[in-house]
Amino acid sequence: MFERLNDVTIFKYYTSRTGLEQDNGEGDLAKSRGPATIPSTYETEVMSLMKTLLRQLTTVAALCLACTALALAADAPDGAAIFKSKCSMCHGQDGKGYAAVKTPDFTDPKWQASITDQKIADTIKNGKQGTMMMPFGTQLKDAEIAALVKQIRSFGKK
């Protein structure tokens, strides 16, 4: 009537309580018993806890993204502002240039097509020898020069 307590009965009791079991070496024990069953209240508790955590994580991640975007926006050089302060006296605020200074018309599609971004950046950095186009490599960072290239391209899109 009473089964003697031995390792096997303790193991059976343990696995029936936890739903966990070890492979008996033939690999079919787990299959025959099906997946471990976890009490449903426990399951819903864990799930709601995980959902709360996830929601909080998502909020934190969204905040981080917003901060990074702001920081980047603050750091990104303002090509239009730099052009206005350092270039517009010779190239005009509208980028059309001045015949008297012999500056090209940046709004001319033909001029836009005649030059690569790399060449524009090089010209800003090193200037054009023998012309009034002076080098800006010492006063402008690469990121600022890149912003100016974009600004000059934007004149062609109007």
When the beta carbons of 19 and 109 are compared against ligand HEC, the nearer one is 109
**What is the nearest approach in angstroms of ligand HEC to the Cβ of residue 90?**
3
**Whole-angstrom distance between the N-terminal and C-terminal Cα of the chain?**
96
Reading the block at residue 73, the tokens are 């926006």
Quote the CA–CA distance of 136 and 122 in Å, as a whole number.
10
**What is the nearest approach in angstroms of ligand HEC to the Cβ of residue 54?**
48
**What is the nearest approach in angstroms of ligand HEC to the Cβ of residue 144?**
8
**What is the nearest approach in angstroms of ligand HEC to the Cβ of residue 66?**
32
The continuous run of DSSP H or E covering 37 comes out as: none
Half-sphere exposure for 56 (CA within 13 Å, toward CB): 6
When the beta carbons of 28 and 78 are compared against ligand HEC, the nearer one is 78
When the beta carbons of 48 and 139 are compared against ligand HEC, the nearer one is 139
**What is the nearest approach in angstroms of ligand HEC to the Cβ of residue 72?**
22
Quote the CA–CA distance of 94 and 133 in Å, as a whole number.
17
When the beta carbons of 15 and 150 are compared against ligand HEC, the nearer one is 150
CB atoms under 10 Å from CB of 24, counted, come to 10
Per CB under 6 A, residues contacting ligand HEC are 86-87, 89-91, 101-104, 115, 120, 123-124, 128, 131-133, 136, 148, 152
When the beta carbons of 133 and 146 are compared against ligand HEC, the nearer one is 133
Quote the CA–CA distance of 22 and 8 in Å, as a whole number.
12
Residue with tokens 């391209």: 153
Distances (CA, A) of 57 to 20, 69, 71: 31, 18, 21
